[in-house]
């Protein structure tokens, strides 16, 4: 599929994500200016505060964006899943250049000019508004310019916390190894940054003293007109976004369900299945897909989401912190019992397939060495490089226990990377062994081979839905839908659904619609 054809098919979604992205950046930059400009002015008057506040702003700038999102999510009022957390993070990232440039610009005003203003009998307020700020404006606008470009870039990461924006396409493109998705996310973000930089650059030159001395009136008017046009376009986008948001919120809260998923294809497909079945029953659905790590679980507990797909083994080991066991029914019953008691959450009946960790090697390598089981790979693994997702490296049922159970040793320390990239790394020969998902569609597409877990190390990972009991009582269609999908998806079906999205590059909504029609649910 060409990029142009992709845009024709996905133009509506791209415009929605672009609107979300602009809204996040515009609102956060506006708030940052409202905070940063007065703070910078204050620091020019209170020298004792200058060092500590600039140090704090510098520290905020150095915190990795995903880590900052992780810190913010549990906080009341300013945290949670969605745009609010993203805006708070973007504001924190934008403050440093605005505060620093405000201080630099005002302190950089010629002392003789300030003394002349005092000699003319101007008050401190008049000096600030009529002398210092006008002269410092080019430097201040440079700070806003830097902050805006930073916000546009960081806002792509906001997709990891369900805030939407162009990062949705970027994360999806990495997961599906789809250059069209990557370009559809990256190019608009780059163009947006260049446009913002150009527009504020014109505004900065308009305020420049040297520019005022040499520029013609026509050029000054062009700079102002261009900047006004850019700002007006942003205001229109924000207005449309806020109007759509109000429209979405106006739906009856009693019939609205927030469906979430984790940041991999299968989870998004399972989330889409429930979303479409609810919508077919007249229920308003808000999708919060592509959430990283334990964000869906945290969102359930915080009441920000109502239902999402999970796996019993993950709940048993990663959430409830139990040592792995191999009895599927025992795992399910204990998860169901403890989730109800500890979290007031309900666990649906299993969906019909088990998505365990799949220890994968290249098919050609498995055929050459006649590998069938993980134990068969112990000897050749001494010369292999391994690559694992962050989740596998950190879990109790992941890497530490796995290598101990099989006595595995690799040629070097395993590379820790995004799970979606491990399939590409294995296929291209960058690594020789990975831990993927057993229902992953790219196993067949990339000619990978799953080694049998002959020592039965991994616990069962039956797919289920986790839901808030309050949502089940509030929306009668939700328990009905969860009952309809119980036992309805086989392992082969799930692998085929994943294959259609990851290998055949089809939209997950379309794939799910076909599956629902075929199943007659």
Given a cut of 70, whether residue 251 has pLDDT beyond it is: no
Query: What percentage of residues in the chain have a pLDDT greater than 70?
Result: 88
C-alpha distance from residue 124 to each of 41, 135, 249 (Å): 12, 15, 47
Q: List the single range of 29-43, 140-154, 218-232 with lowest mean pLDDT.
A: 218-232
C-alpha distance from residue 506 to each of 136, 150, 288, 496, 509 (Å): 53, 33, 20, 12, 9
Distance CA 501, CA 445 (A): 12
- Residue 363: its pLDDT value, please? 96
Q: Within its chain, how far is the Cα of 219 from the centroid?
A: 41
Provide the pLDDT confidence category of residue 176 given band limits of 50, 70 and 90: low
- Residue 242: its pLDDT value, please? 47
Provide the pLDDT confidence category of residue 221 given band limits of 50, 70 and 90: low
230 membership: H or E segment, kind and range: helix 217-250
What 3-state DSSP class applies to 289?
strand
C-alpha distance from residue 42 to each of 35, 49, 50, 88 (Å): 11, 9, 9, 22
Nearest alpha-carbon partner for 39 in 27, 53, 52, 26: 53
The Cα diameter of the chain in Å comes to 92
277 membership: H or E segment, kind and range: helix 265-280
Strand ordering across the sheet containing 307-311? 284-291, 256-262, 307-311, 463-468, 345-347
442: left (phi over 0), alpha (psi -120 to 50) or beta: alpha
Q: Where are the alpha helices (DSSP H) in 63-178?
A: 65-72, 83-107, 111-119, 124-127, 133-154, 167-176
Given a cut of 80, whether residue 213 has pLDDT beyond it is: no
Which two tokens mark 6?
């992709």
Q: List the single range of 23-37, 76-90, 130-144 with lowest mean pLDDT.
A: 76-90
- Residue 216: its pLDDT value, please? 46
Name the range with the highest mean pLDDT among 124-138, 254-268, 339-353.
Answer: 339-353
Distance CA 262, CA 309 (A): 8
Distance CA 360, CA 203 (A): 55
290 vs 351, which has greater pLDDT?
Answer: 351
Distance CA 476, CA 308 (A): 17
Nearest alpha-carbon partner for 189 in 432, 355, 2, 22: 22
Nearest alpha-carbon partner for 297 in 276, 275, 272, 314: 314
- Residue 298: its pLDDT value, please? 86
Q: What is the pLDDT of residues 57-86, one digit of tens each?
A: 888 878 877 777 767 766 777 766 678 888
**8 Å CB contact between 121 and 111:** no
Q: What is the pLDDT of residues 407-455, one digit of tens each?
A: 999 999 999 887 878 888 999 999 999 999 888 888 888 899 999 999 9
Convert 435-449 to b/e letters by CB count within 10 Å (16 or more is b): bbbbbbbbbebbebb
Pairing, β 345-347 against β 433-437: unpaired
Q: Could you give the domains of the chain?
A: 3-191 (1.10.3720.10), 253-353+461-519 (3.40.190.10), 357-451 (3.40.190.120)
390 vs 195, which has greater pLDDT?
Answer: 195
Which two tokens mark 56?
């704090």
- Could you count the other beta carbons within 10 Å of the beta carbon of residue 486? 14
Query: What percentage of residues in the chain have a pLDDT greater than 90?
Result: 46
Report how far apart the first and last C-alpha atoms of the chain are (Å, whole number): 31
């Amino acid at each position: 599929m060409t990029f142009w054809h992709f845009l024709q098919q996905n133009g509506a979604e791209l415009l929605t994500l672009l609107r979300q992205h602009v809204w996040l950046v515009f609102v956060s930059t506006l708030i940052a200016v409202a905070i940063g400009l007065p703070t910078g002015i204050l620091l020019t008057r209170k020298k004792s505060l200058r060092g500590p506040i600039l140090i704090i702003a510098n520290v905020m700038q150095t915190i990795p964006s995903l880590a900052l999102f992780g810190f913010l999510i549990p906080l009341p009022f300013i945290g949670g899943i969605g745009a609010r957390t993203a805006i708070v993070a973007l504001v924190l990232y934008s403050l440093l250049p605005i505060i620093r440039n405000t201080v630099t610009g005002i302190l950089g005003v010629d002392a003789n000019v300030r003394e002349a203003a005092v000699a003319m009998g101007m008050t401190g307020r008049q000096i600030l508004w009529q002398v210092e700020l006008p002269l410092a404006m080019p430097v201040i606008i440079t700070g806003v310019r830097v902050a805006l470009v930073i916000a546009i870039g960081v806002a792509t990461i906001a997709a990891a916390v369900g805030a939407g924006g162009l990062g949705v396409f970027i994360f999806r493109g990495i997961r599906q190894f789809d250059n069209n998705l990557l370009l559809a996310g990256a190019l608009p973000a780059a163009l947006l940054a260049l446009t913002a930089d150009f527009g504020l650059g014109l505004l900065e030159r308009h305020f420049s003293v040297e520019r005022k001395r040499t520029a013609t009136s026509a050029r000054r008017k062009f700079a102002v007109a261009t900047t006004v046009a850019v700002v007006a376009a942003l205001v229109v986008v924000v207005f449309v976004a806020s109007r759509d948001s109000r429209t979405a919120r106006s739906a009856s809260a009693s019939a609205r369900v927030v469906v979430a998923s984790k940041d991999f294809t299968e989870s998004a497909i399972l989330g889409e299945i429930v979303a479409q079945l609810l919508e077919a029953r007249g229920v308003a659905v808000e999708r919060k897909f592509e959430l990283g790590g334990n964000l869906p679980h945290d969102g359930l507990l915080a009441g920000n989401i109502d239902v999402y797909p999970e796996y019993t083994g993950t709940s048993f080991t990663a959430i409830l912190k139990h040592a792995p066991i191999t009895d599927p029914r025992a795992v399910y019953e204990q998860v169901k019992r403890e989730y109800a008691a500890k979290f007031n959450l309900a666990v649906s009946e299993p969906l019909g397939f088990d998505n365990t960790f799949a220890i994968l090697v290249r098919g050609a390598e498995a055929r050459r060495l006649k590998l069938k089981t993980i134990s068969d790979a112990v000897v050749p693994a001494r010369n292999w490089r391994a690559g694992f997702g962050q989740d596998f490296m950190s879990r109790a049922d992941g890497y530490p226990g796995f290598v101990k159970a099989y006595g595995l040793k690799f040629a070097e320390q395993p590379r820790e990377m995004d799970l979606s990239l491990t399939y590409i790394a294995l296929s291209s020969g960058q690594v020789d062994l990975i831990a993927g998902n057993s229902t992953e569609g790219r196993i067949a597409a990339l000619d990978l081979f799953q080694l049998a877990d002959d020592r039965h190390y991994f616990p069962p990972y039956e797919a289920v839905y986790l839901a808030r009991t309050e949502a089940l009582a509030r929306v009668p269609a939700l328990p009905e839908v969860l009952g309809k999908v119980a036992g309805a998806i086989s392992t082969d079906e799930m692998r085929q659904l994943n294959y259609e999205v990851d290998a055949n590059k089809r939209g997950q909504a379309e794939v799910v619609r076909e599956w629902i029609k075929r199943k007659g649910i």
